[in-house]
Amino acid sequence: MKAFLLSLIDLLPGSLFIYRVRLDGSDDFAPRVISRKCDLLIDGFPRCANTYVYYQLQLASRSAIIAHHLHSWQQYLFAAAWGKPAYRLIREPDQAVSSIVAKQGRSPALAYFQFSVFYYITNFLPNRTLEFEDVTSPQSLEAILKGVCEDCGLNYTPVDSQQVVDLLATRTNHKNSETHPLDPDALGFGASLMRRMAKRAYLSAVDQKRNSKL
């Protein structure tokens, strides 16, 4: 119930800034709310390689101020208002939801609902979409990091992959859990409905990205 209520609160523009009070500023890699002093935003639904990509980008440009890890569409609303470059990570919804159910025990219906809200709304806000398969491939990720730094006017330094491995290993909240695919036939009516919505939001986001290249 608490997670569902937080999802409803997130629908209210401006509620995002509650996190300014909650976040601990002593951690250099802690989630950051978008602000005018940020250089860019990179975020996405949980389990879409947010942590991995953020570490890579922060290490590639250590002085960059990056808004990240709030998993809220409002980050993109205020990034647009302040003219900040915004990047959106996306993963096929069944994969993302299966992963978050395994990691957090979240209900599939709620996870699909949150996925749908995030991508349906951000489909109408300025951003560049980065697909999970691309950012988790070392070959394409380097080109993506260079492109982001160039677009945002940031210096780029090649990343030592061991630094990323060490960060992931020492920050226990980001360790992966074994993931088992969800059985669509075993989902209840509500979860199945939310799943269809999530699929549509995903396809719309990916179509936007691919059409923008034409």
**pLDDT, tens digit, 9 for 90 and up, residues 21-57:** 556 556 778 899 999 999 999 999 999 999 999 999 9
CATH of region 2-212, choose from 2.60.40, 1.10.10, 3.40.50, 1.10.287: 3.40.50
Q: What is residue 173's predicted lDDT score, i.e. its pLDDT? A: 61
Q: What is residue 24's predicted lDDT score, i.e. its pLDDT? A: 54
In whole angstroms, give the CA distance from residue 114 to residue 123: 14
Q: What is residue 176's predicted lDDT score, i.e. its pLDDT? A: 59
Domain coordinates in residue numbering, the chain: 2-212
- pLDDT, averaged across the chain: 89
Q: What is the mean pLDDT of residues 132-138?
A: 94
The pLDDT tens digits for 139-196 are 899 999 999 999 999 999 999 989 998 888 887 565 555 677 788 888 999 999 999 9
Answer yes or no: is pLDDT of 3 > 90: no
Percent of the chain exceeding pLDDT 90 equals 67
Please name which of 12, 79, 83, 93 lies closest in space to residue 43, comparing C-alpha atoms: 79
Answer yes or no: is pLDDT of 4 > 80: no
* The model scores a pTM over 0.85: yes
Q: What is residue 214's predicted lDDT score, i.e. its pLDDT? A: 47
Q: What is the mean pLDDT of residues 58-71?
A: 95
Strands 40-44 and 66-68 turn out to be: parallel
In whole angstroms, give the CA distance from residue 68 to residue 48: 12
* Alpha-carbon torsion angle 30, 36, 40, 44, nearest 10: 60
In whole angstroms, give the CA distance from residue 163 to residue 143: 19
Contact 91, 45 (CB under 8 A): yes
Percent of the chain exceeding pLDDT 70 equals 90
